[in-house]
Chains A and B, each alone.
Chain A
Amino acid sequence: MSDATSIRVEHSNRASRIGLAIVSGAVIALAAAPWWADRASLRLLSEIYAYVALASLWNLLAGYAGLVSVGQHAYVGLGAYVLFALAMLAGVHPLVAIPIAGFAAAIISVPVALLMFRLRGHYFAIGTWVMAEVFRLSAAQVSALDGGSGTSLPAAVILSIAGTRQMREFVVYWIALALAVAILAAIVMLLRSRYGLALTAIRDNELGARSNGVDVARVKYLVYVAVAFGTAMVGALIFLQKIRISPDTAFSVNDWTAFVIFITVIGGIGRIEGPIIGTLVFFVLRQTLADLGAIYLLILGAVAIVVMLKAPKGLWGLVADRFGWQLFPLERRLVIGGKQPS
């Protein structure tokens, strides 16, 4: 049955080739959105991209590395504030400020991680939330950015993006799409690499991973820093688009952590496709129920509870397991002598 000389490992299968074709087609169509969508739709799509990116990053952190942070709004706000500070106080071009905001957050996340990783279990989650509060209170102290009341980007900064309003909106839209695609691509590449192997093992069984030689602490550390980097860039872009910032909006636990967790959990935590599906479901719910006010949040909560009880692997887990679907070629399937064992 087996011929030791003919061993092959395949990453993609029919499902993932179809999946990748769908994803590629969707990205091309979305990149052309300025030609087929109106202004409101472009804004909505940009928001969707931001949530896909934030949720994918949180999924990497909590779903794979087991770091259940409820304080990622710390990095959204930090990134946003770094962009505003650089653009308004140092005259840095706002688009250049986006990656700088990412680097700044990554640097700050190094000592933060040192502190947070001393906390075990639930205390880690609580610690991340407290840390985000500290970030918010600190931002409120920055009088150069009008402290607690917040501030807006001056016209000169906005004009530096592009001359006309339409072009500005197009540019910001494309950057939002590019950032989400880049973050997803980076996550796919990470998961296909040696680190992905380690991360997936950690996701499934930390004791097993450690006992098989995986340096769990180091992998978690790197993931925490990388996720801070990505999250801050997304945060910077979100507020560049909003133009206005205040500590309460930039460090909103509701907008940047609670909704992100909701998205990931209903979509499927610990699966790369989960946050994408979750974001789509979230926006469908939001667009159809937003008029209901507080009831809308109750419905979100109810949906989350039902999904957690009925489909603990999320909506994507529900269908993917049944039909063998996958959007990205992440597997390593062994082929022996031209045949694939079950």
Chain B
Amino acid sequence: MTSSILTLSKISKRFGAVVIADGIDLALAQGEALGIIGPNGAGKTTLFGIMTGTVPPDAGQVFFDGADITRTTPERRCRMGIARSFQIPQPFGGMTVFENLVVAAAFGGGKRERDVYARCAALLEQCGLADRANRQAGSLTLLDRKRLELARALATSPRVLLLDEVAGGLIEHETAALVALVKEVRASGVSIIWIEHVVHALIAAVDRLVVLHGGALIAEGAPAEVIRRPQVAEIYMGMEDLGIEADA
């Protein structure tokens, strides 16, 4: 466990009667790409909230690089190297797309403003937003807002990248490009957790898959093998459908 970079230890969380996590243990190894699946409302996004500090757990601890960060603010966690893309995009609507990245790179990355311009421009290119660089982020389509989420998370120069459903709505070659981008980021040494309903994309990009259901991780292992388990197929019906749908 010493090589794990982000660890959830006995995390519990409930919203009223809804149990999101009931003593969940999860360790992301240094350099690993981990996938999380689970039915709608299972609590996947909430787990990201617990990892990034926007949602306080009822019990349990979060560790980053060996340090207990359970009470650390989201902004500090970001500067420590945990970046997140929001499932529901959270753009700075009145700023340009480029300025959105500059904020993330300058503050999340802890750099001087001037020093991040080149990197932000390169990231815009990488995430397919270069031709909309000077557009107001608030005027982007949902798809472009999701691209911006990814670009902004990358702009903070993270050590751990948390992706929350970034593939939905992409057409096939875009999905392939996304998978390639995730692999490239990972190859550069960034550890990744990816929540995704587009399972075929996920399987192509991650080393390990966990399944969240009923407040527990009910399955864990090699991606291709995990999704074939009857128990997973049963609670996560339509998983394959979702995969196919995304190709349409």
Chain A positions within 8 Å of B, measured between CB atoms, are 1-2, 4, 7, 9, 194, 197-198, 200-201, 203-205, 207-217, 270, 331-334, 336, 340-342
Residues of B within 8 A of A (CB): 52, 54, 73-75, 78-79, 84, 86, 90-96, 98-100, 102-104, 106-110, 112-113, 117-118, 120-122, 124-125, 130-135, 137-138, 152, 155-156
**A2: contacting residue among B130, B135, B152, CB under 8 A:** B130
**Least Cβ distance of A137 to chain B in Å?**
37
A341 touches B130 (CB 8 A): yes
**Known interface pairs A204-B94, A212-B104; A334-B121 also in contact (CB < 8 Å):** yes
Taking a contact as CB atoms closer than 8 A, the residue among B52, B98, B131 that contacts A211 in the complex is B52
Beyond A2-B125, A7-B118, whether A211 also contacts B78 by CB under 8 A is yes
Q: Which B residues lie within 8 Å of A340 (CB)?
A: 134
14 A-B pairs whose Cβ atoms sit less than 8 Å apart in the complex: A194-B106, A197-B113, A204-B91, A207-B90, A208-B90, A211-B75, A212-B108, A213-B110, A214-B107, A332-B96, A333-B134, A334-B117, A341-B134, A342-B134
Does A336 lie within 8 Å of B130, measured CB to CB?
yes
Q: Give every chain A residue within 8 A of B155 (Cβ-Cβ).
A: 212
Compute how far the CA of A194 lies from the CA of B135 in the bound complex, rounded to whole angstroms. Answer: 20
Residues in A whose Cβ lies below 8 Å from that of B137: 204
Shortest distance between the CB of A161 and any CB in chain B (Å):
43
Most-contacted residue by chain B among A204, A217, A270 (CB, 10 A): A204
Q: Are A332 and B98 in contact (CB under 8 A)?
A: yes
Inter-chain contact B121/A197, CB cutoff 8 Å: no
Consensus secondary structure, chain B interface: helix
**Distance in angstroms between the alpha carbons of A197 and B103 in the assembled complex:** 6
Please state if A4 and B121 are interface contacts (CB–CB under 8 Å). Answer: yes
* Complex A-B, nearest 8 residue pairs according to Cβ-Cβ distance, in ascending order: A213-B108, A208-B90, A204-B92, A213-B107, A213-B78, A212-B104, A334-B98, A341-B133
Whether A342 and B131, one on each chain, are in contact in the complex, defined by CB atoms closer than 8 angstroms, is: yes
Q: Point out the residues of chain A lying under 8 angstroms from B138, CB to CB.
A: 204
Say which residue of A197, A207, A341 sits within 8 Å of B99 (CB atoms).
Answer: A197
CB <8 Å contact, A211 and B84:
yes
A209 CA to B95 CA, complexed, in Å: 12
The complex places the Cα of A324 from the Cα of B134 at a distance, in Å, of 13
Beta-carbon contact of B79 and A213 below 8 Å:
yes
A211 cross-chain contacts in B, Cβ below 8 A: 52, 54, 74-75, 78, 84, 86, 90
* Chain A residues in 8 Å Cβ range of B112: 194
By beta carbon, the residue of chain B nearest A200 is: B95
Q: Once bound together, how far apart are the Cα atoms of A270 and B103, in whole Å?
A: 18
On whether the beta carbons of B102 and A213 are closer than 8 Å, the reply is no
A341 contacts across to B, CB distance below 8 A: 130-134
Closest residue to B109 on the A side, CB-wise? A213
| Contact A205 B131, CB 8 Å, known A4-B121, A211-B54, A331-B96 | no
B94 is contacted by which of A203, A332, A333 (Cβ under 8 Å)?
A203
Q: Are A342 and B121 in contact (CB under 8 A)?
A: no
When C-beta atoms are compared, the residue in chain B nearest to A197 turns out to be: B103
**Contacts known (A211-B90, A212-B108); A332 close to B75, Cβ less than 8 A:** no
Query: Closest residue to A13 on the B side, CB-wise?
Result: B134
| Chain A residues within 8 Å of B100, by CB | 201
Shortest CB distance A205–B (Å): 5
